[in-house]
Amino acid sequence: MHLTHHKKIKNFIKVLFVATFILQTSWGMAQEKLDSKEFFSKLSPKTMNLVEEFYDEKILFQDPLGKISGLKAMKDYYSHLYEGAEYVHFEFDRQLKSGNEEVLFWKMTLKSKNLNSGKEYSVTGNSHMIFSTQSHKCVYHRDYFDMGSFVYERIPFLKNIIHFVKGKMKEKK
Protein backbone atom coordinates (compact mmCIF):
# COMPACT_ATOMS: atom_id res chain seq x y z
CA MET A 1 0.00 0.00 0.00
CA HIS A 2 2.84 2.34 0.78
CA LEU A 3 4.38 1.69 -2.68
CA THR A 4 1.10 2.44 -4.47
CA HIS A 5 0.73 5.69 -2.56
CA HIS A 6 4.28 6.63 -3.55
CA LYS A 7 3.52 5.91 -7.26
CA LYS A 8 0.41 8.07 -7.09
CA ILE A 9 2.43 10.98 -5.70
CA LYS A 10 5.06 10.51 -8.43
CA ASN A 11 2.39 10.45 -11.13
CA PHE A 12 0.72 13.51 -9.63
CA ILE A 13 4.05 15.39 -9.68
CA LYS A 14 4.63 14.39 -13.33
CA VAL A 15 1.15 15.59 -14.34
CA LEU A 16 1.65 18.81 -12.38
CA PHE A 17 5.04 19.38 -14.05
CA VAL A 18 3.61 18.81 -17.57
CA ALA A 19 0.59 21.04 -16.87
CA THR A 20 2.87 23.80 -15.53
CA PHE A 21 5.10 23.56 -18.60
CA ILE A 22 2.10 23.77 -20.96
CA LEU A 23 0.67 26.77 -19.10
CA GLN A 24 4.01 28.59 -19.08
CA THR A 25 4.53 27.92 -22.79
CA SER A 26 1.07 29.11 -23.80
CA TRP A 27 1.32 32.15 -21.49
CA GLY A 28 4.68 33.03 -23.04
CA MET A 29 3.25 32.79 -26.55
CA ALA A 30 0.33 35.01 -25.59
CA GLN A 31 2.77 37.61 -24.26
CA GLU A 32 4.82 37.82 -27.48
CA LYS A 33 4.05 40.81 -29.64
CA LEU A 34 3.04 40.64 -33.26
CA ASP A 35 6.21 41.20 -35.30
CA SER A 36 6.32 44.63 -36.99
CA LYS A 37 7.20 43.30 -40.44
CA GLU A 38 4.43 40.73 -40.19
CA PHE A 39 1.93 43.38 -39.09
CA PHE A 40 2.66 45.77 -41.97
CA SER A 41 2.82 42.93 -44.52
CA LYS A 42 -0.50 41.40 -43.48
CA LEU A 43 -2.51 44.57 -42.82
CA SER A 44 -5.37 45.10 -45.28
CA PRO A 45 -9.02 46.16 -45.17
CA LYS A 46 -9.87 42.53 -44.33
CA THR A 47 -7.34 42.26 -41.47
CA MET A 48 -8.00 45.44 -39.49
CA ASN A 49 -8.24 43.23 -36.37
CA LEU A 50 -4.42 43.16 -36.48
CA VAL A 51 -4.41 46.81 -35.38
CA GLU A 52 -5.79 45.72 -32.00
CA GLU A 53 -3.19 42.94 -31.72
CA PHE A 54 -0.28 45.24 -32.56
CA TYR A 55 -1.13 48.54 -30.83
CA ASP A 56 -1.76 49.30 -27.18
CA GLU A 57 -4.97 51.09 -26.13
CA LYS A 58 -2.92 54.23 -25.43
CA ILE A 59 -1.03 54.33 -28.75
CA LEU A 60 0.45 57.68 -29.73
CA PHE A 61 1.07 57.86 -33.48
CA GLN A 62 2.62 60.64 -35.53
CA ASP A 63 3.51 61.07 -39.19
CA PRO A 64 3.88 64.09 -41.50
CA LEU A 65 0.07 64.30 -41.69
CA GLY A 66 -0.50 64.70 -37.95
CA LYS A 67 -0.87 63.02 -34.55
CA ILE A 68 -3.28 60.33 -33.41
CA SER A 69 -4.02 59.14 -29.87
CA GLY A 70 -5.80 55.95 -28.92
CA LEU A 71 -6.54 52.59 -30.48
CA LYS A 72 -9.87 53.57 -32.07
CA ALA A 73 -8.30 56.58 -33.81
CA MET A 74 -5.44 54.35 -35.00
CA LYS A 75 -7.85 51.82 -36.47
CA ASP A 76 -9.80 54.64 -38.17
CA TYR A 77 -6.52 55.99 -39.60
CA TYR A 78 -5.65 52.64 -41.19
CA SER A 79 -9.21 52.10 -42.42
CA HIS A 80 -9.10 55.48 -44.15
CA LEU A 81 -5.59 54.87 -45.51
CA TYR A 82 -6.60 51.57 -47.07
CA GLU A 83 -9.92 52.93 -48.37
CA GLY A 84 -9.83 52.85 -52.16
CA ALA A 85 -6.41 51.20 -52.20
CA GLU A 86 -6.03 48.44 -54.73
CA TYR A 87 -2.97 47.32 -52.80
CA VAL A 88 -0.36 48.46 -50.31
CA HIS A 89 2.92 46.53 -50.22
CA PHE A 90 5.94 46.98 -47.95
CA GLU A 91 9.53 45.99 -48.61
CA PHE A 92 11.79 46.12 -45.59
CA ASP A 93 15.40 47.21 -45.80
CA ARG A 94 16.60 47.06 -42.19
CA GLN A 95 15.23 46.52 -38.74
CA LEU A 96 17.08 47.86 -35.70
CA LYS A 97 16.02 46.71 -32.23
CA SER A 98 17.22 47.79 -28.80
CA GLY A 99 15.26 46.81 -25.72
CA ASN A 100 11.63 47.71 -26.28
CA GLU A 101 12.41 50.11 -29.18
CA GLU A 102 12.58 49.40 -32.88
CA VAL A 103 13.29 51.28 -36.08
CA LEU A 104 12.05 49.72 -39.30
CA PHE A 105 13.24 51.03 -42.69
CA TRP A 106 10.78 50.43 -45.51
CA LYS A 107 9.61 51.16 -49.02
CA MET A 108 5.84 51.34 -49.40
CA THR A 109 4.35 50.76 -52.83
CA LEU A 110 0.69 51.44 -53.31
CA LYS A 111 -1.96 51.80 -55.91
CA SER A 112 -5.10 53.72 -55.07
CA LYS A 113 -7.84 55.23 -57.18
CA ASN A 114 -7.70 58.25 -54.83
CA LEU A 115 -4.00 59.04 -55.30
CA ASN A 116 -1.61 59.66 -58.21
CA SER A 117 -4.39 59.32 -60.83
CA GLY A 118 -4.72 55.66 -59.88
CA LYS A 119 -1.13 54.83 -60.86
CA GLU A 120 1.24 52.82 -58.67
CA TYR A 121 3.95 54.70 -56.82
CA SER A 122 6.39 54.23 -53.95
CA VAL A 123 7.75 56.16 -51.01
CA THR A 124 10.62 55.25 -48.68
CA GLY A 125 10.65 55.96 -44.98
CA ASN A 126 11.12 54.54 -41.54
CA SER A 127 9.06 53.86 -38.47
CA HIS A 128 10.27 54.40 -34.90
CA MET A 129 8.26 52.29 -32.47
CA ILE A 130 8.30 51.77 -28.71
CA PHE A 131 6.60 48.75 -27.15
CA SER A 132 5.10 48.42 -23.68
CA THR A 133 7.06 46.16 -21.38
CA GLN A 134 3.75 44.96 -19.89
CA SER A 135 1.45 44.40 -22.91
CA HIS A 136 4.27 44.00 -25.48
CA LYS A 137 2.14 46.13 -27.80
CA CYS A 138 3.20 49.30 -29.57
CA VAL A 139 2.59 52.43 -27.45
CA TYR A 140 4.48 54.93 -29.65
CA HIS A 141 4.83 54.90 -33.44
CA ARG A 142 6.29 57.71 -35.52
CA ASP A 143 6.68 57.51 -39.29
CA TYR A 144 9.26 59.57 -41.14
CA PHE A 145 8.92 60.04 -44.90
CA ASP A 146 9.03 62.77 -47.53
CA MET A 147 5.50 64.16 -47.71
CA GLY A 148 6.41 66.09 -50.86
CA SER A 149 7.26 63.01 -52.88
CA PHE A 150 4.41 61.06 -51.31
CA VAL A 151 1.57 63.50 -51.98
CA TYR A 152 2.39 67.11 -52.87
CA GLU A 153 4.47 66.38 -55.98
CA ARG A 154 1.64 64.23 -57.33
CA ILE A 155 -0.77 67.17 -57.49
CA PRO A 156 -0.08 68.96 -60.81
CA PHE A 157 -0.36 72.54 -59.52
CA LEU A 158 1.73 71.89 -56.40
CA LYS A 159 4.22 69.76 -58.34
CA ASN A 160 5.19 72.74 -60.50
CA ILE A 161 5.62 75.03 -57.49
CA ILE A 162 7.70 72.46 -55.57
CA HIS A 163 9.96 71.79 -58.55
CA PHE A 164 10.40 75.54 -59.04
CA VAL A 165 11.38 76.02 -55.36
CA LYS A 166 13.73 73.03 -55.44
CA GLY A 167 15.37 74.41 -58.59
CA LYS A 168 15.89 77.80 -56.95
CA MET A 169 17.41 76.19 -53.87
CA LYS A 170 19.85 74.21 -56.00
CA GLU A 171 20.94 77.39 -57.79
CA LYS A 172 21.89 78.99 -54.45
CA LYS A 173 24.32 76.18 -53.53
pLDDT digit string, tens, across residues 75-111: 999 998 888 788 889 999 999 999 999 999 999 998 8
Buried b (16+ CB within 10 A) or exposed e, 111-145: bbeebbeeeebebebbbebbbbeeeebbbbbebeb
Higher-pLDDT residue of 141 and 11 is 141
d(CA 106, CA 151): 17
Looking at residues 113-123, what average pLDDT do you find? 76
Q: What is the dihedral of CA 70, 103, 124, 51, to 10 degrees?
A: -30
Amino acid 6 reads: H
Phi and psi, residue 34, nearest 5°: -70, 130
pLDDT (0 to 100) of residue 20: 44
- b/e per residue, 54-65, with b = 16+ CB within 10 A? bbbeebbbebee
pLDDT score of 173 more than 50: yes
Most confident of 24-33, 38-47, 79-88, 164-173: 38-47
Whole-number Cα distances in Å, 133 to 14, 22, 53, 168: 33, 23, 15, 48
| Helix (H), strand (E) at residue 31 | helix 2-31
Q: How far apart are CA 163 and CA 112, in angstroms?
A: 24
